[in-house]
Amino acid sequence: MPNPPKLSSSPKTDLIELETIVVNDRWQVRGALDSATVKRYADAMSAGAQFPPIVLASLNGALILVSGFHRYHAAKLARQTALMAEVHQAKPERLLWRAAAENLAHGLPMKAKDHRGAFRAYVQSGMHRLPNGKVKASRTIAEELNNIRSHATILNWMRSDFPSVSIGVQS
């Protein structure tokens, strides 16, 4: 799987107050939070466990939560007021793919029903194109999506969800 797209070349890691973070479900690729995971993380945080920084995007002056929804909600449940966060400058079209790529790579495994959202984020961010602008083969796309589905399913999703670009997709 490719690395999550960089939101900025040099992110700044800082302690960020939770009340300053904008949490918008638009940037959440999962269908829903897993409440058991939030509770488990909150308990661990209360016991002093350290978690990786959440990922925020600075967009039009707002700090948007991109990755770390479970950690964010766990911190609130644990009555923490701040979390360590990587703060990136961002383009809106890259936010959802960044979140999806993070979720595919680590943390709570994505549920099967969330895979299509990750695929859509991948395409909407332009990851489906080669540097020359041509559409990648469905096998390549499947590999870059960590083989969450077969290349045939990827091809079908492309034809269904993005019919204007499916013409260039090859199996």
pLDDT digits (tens, 9 = 90+) for 92-138: 666 667 667 766 766 667 777 788 888 988 888 888 988 998 899 99
Predicted confidence at residue 92, as pLDDT, reads 63
Contact 9, 49 (CB under 8 A): no
| pLDDT band, residue 48 (cuts 50/70/90) | very high
User: Domain residues of the chain, as ranges?
Assistant: 1-109, 128-171
pLDDT over 60 at 9, yes or no: no
For the chain, the straight-line distance linking the first and the last C-alpha, in angstroms and rounded, comes to 18
| pLDDT band, residue 8 (cuts 50/70/90) | very low
Residue 66 amino acid letter? V
Contact 20, 87 (CB under 8 A): no
Contact 68, 55 (CB under 8 A): yes
**Two structure tokens written together for 126:** 């332009």
Sign of the CA dihedral running 49, 52, 53, 56: negative
The helix (H) or strand (E) run that includes residue 62 is: strand 62-67
* CATH code for the domain defined by 1-109: 3.90.1530.10
CA atoms within 13 A on the CB side of 15: 5
